[in-house]
Amino acid sequence: MEVLVAFGFKVYFPENHSALIGARKIADDYIPVANAVGYSPEICSYLTSDIGAYLRNETPLKDAYGVSSIPKPDVLAVNTNQCRDLYEWFSFFGRRFDAPVFSIHPPKYLDEVEEHHVDDVAVQYEDMIAQLEKITGERLDEAKLKEAVALSLEATELWKGFLDTAVHVPSPLTFFDGTIHMAPIVVMRGLQVAVDYYKQLKAEMDERLENGIAAVDDERFRIYWEGMPVWGRLRKLSEQFVDLRTCLVASTYCNSWVFDDMTPDDPIRSMALAYTKVFVNRSEPAKERYILDEIKRFKADGIIFHDARTCPANSNASYGMPARMMEDHGIPTLTLDGDLNDLRCWSDEQATTNIEAFIEQLEER
Ligand code: SF4
């Protein structure tokens, strides 16, 4: 992101477009369209929603902003620190628009991120910069890169400050607020507008804290959400948790968009470190340590794991983690089967009943 900003590109994020499609509950119209051209129903439903919408020549951006289609890219840049699907997704658009796809492939499943991992990724950044210089015909302006990294760092610290207000009991925010307010830290890093947004948001949260305003009246239980949001069920779930006087105080999904290893003094290596260190790219024990620290910090009573069918990369219920959390650490857990965008994988009845039973279990403790 920061490199593209420094070159003066306007950056567009297909992931954000897909989340919008999911939240508008129209993904099921598009996923089969992508399936029909060979993209499996089992792969990322962000990918299939977005490609399907493109093939149907439709976008929710039209109603929201009067933008009739996704922009035509000059270049596509992707970091596979989350998963392979991103690369395949961007490659689809690379072929469609006859545009080059540049990719960074950090080493995966890291327990600790070591110097040689950072060296590897930093070299990949240098290569990408050299390619972009050829395409744009301009040398990368180091001052602009430092400025973009400084703005990303400032936005990231403010975003963290916003999320951390939820350590207070009762919490002034919920995970559902986080899913809405995270857009700038995802798509506007490196830009002043993200800093301005989070300054305003943080001030509002401080005011809520000062006035003792809770996100959930009479908060009884505090839960950690692990995994992707169910975009088409944000409202329904948030209302159920309000009724249960339970606050989802933190989540890996929102809380891992904190890139505080970045520093303008060493932009390339610090970006390499920050983007390689992301939660999704780490070993199972590293993820477990992260979640345990967060549970403690946010004083959570339990964890809900969302096992998203088409996003194994961002689902952590498949390798025994919920059982280990319960048996080794005494933390109650619930696993909900579902998906980020494909609502055919989600059952309202089952989720409602399982959540109610989980909260009853917490009441009995
Ligand atoms: S991490 Fe999950 S949601 Fe994101 S691109 Fe990969 S499969 Fe899709």
Band the pLDDT of 137: cuts 50, 70, 90.
very high
Centre of ligand 1 from the C-alpha of residue 162, in Å: 25
Give percent above pLDDT 90 in the chain: 98
CB 147 within 8 A of CB 264: yes
Mean pLDDT of 87-98: 98
107-128 tens-digit pLDDT: 999 999 999 999 999 999 999 9
Q: Which atom of ligand 1 is nearest to the CA of 228?
A: 3
Least confident of 61-75, 95-109, 165-179, 232-246: 61-75
Q: Which atom of ligand 1 is nearest to the CA of 82?
A: 1
| pTM listed for this prediction | 0.96
Mean pLDDT of 337-341: 98
Model pLDDT, residue 212: 93
Centre of ligand 1 from the C-alpha of residue 346, in Å: 17
Is the CB of 311 within 6 Å of ligand 1?
yes
Give the separation between CA 330 and CA 325, rounded to whole angstroms: 6
Q: Which atom of ligand 1 is nearest to the CA of 308?
A: 2
Centre of ligand 1 from the C-alpha of residue 150, in Å: 27
Centre of ligand 1 from the C-alpha of residue 52, in Å: 16
Ligand 1 mutation pick, 13, 40, 83, max ligand atoms within 8 A of CB: 83
CA 267 to centroid of chain Cα atoms: 22
Model pLDDT, residue 83: 94
Is the CB of 313 within 6 Å of ligand 1?
yes
| pLDDT exceeds cutoff 90 at 169 | yes
Mean pLDDT of 139-154: 98
Q: Which residue minimizes the CA distance to atom 6 of ligand 1? A: 83
Model pLDDT, residue 142: 97
To 10 degrees, what angle do helices 267-276 and 115-136 make?
Answer: 120
Mean pLDDT of 216-233: 98
Strand partners, 195: none
Query: What is the SS3 assignment for 37?
Result: coil
Q: Which residue minimizes the CA distance to atom 2 of ligand 1? A: 311
Mean pLDDT of 135-160: 97
Model pLDDT, residue 187: 95
The beta-strand segments (E) located in 128-252 are: 221-226, 246-251
Query: What is the SS3 assignment for 188?
Result: coil
Is the CB of 278 within 6 Å of ligand 1?
no
Q: Which residue minimizes the CA distance to atom 8 of ligand 1? A: 44
Is the CB of 268 within 6 Å of ligand 1?
no
Residues 6+ apart with CB under 8 A from 154: 195
24-41 tens-digit pLDDT: 999 999 999 999 999 999
Q: Which atom of ligand 1 is nearest to the CA of 47?
A: 8
Centre of ligand 1 from the C-alpha of residue 136, in Å: 30
User: What residue type is 320 in one-letter code?
Assistant: G
Model pLDDT, residue 353: 98
Average pLDDT over the chain, rounded to an integer: 97
Is the CB of 46 within 6 Å of ligand 1?
yes
Model pLDDT, residue 220: 97
Mean pLDDT of 78-102: 97
State both tokens at 3. 């490199």
Model pLDDT, residue 64: 85
Centre of ligand 1 from the C-alpha of residue 229, in Å: 12
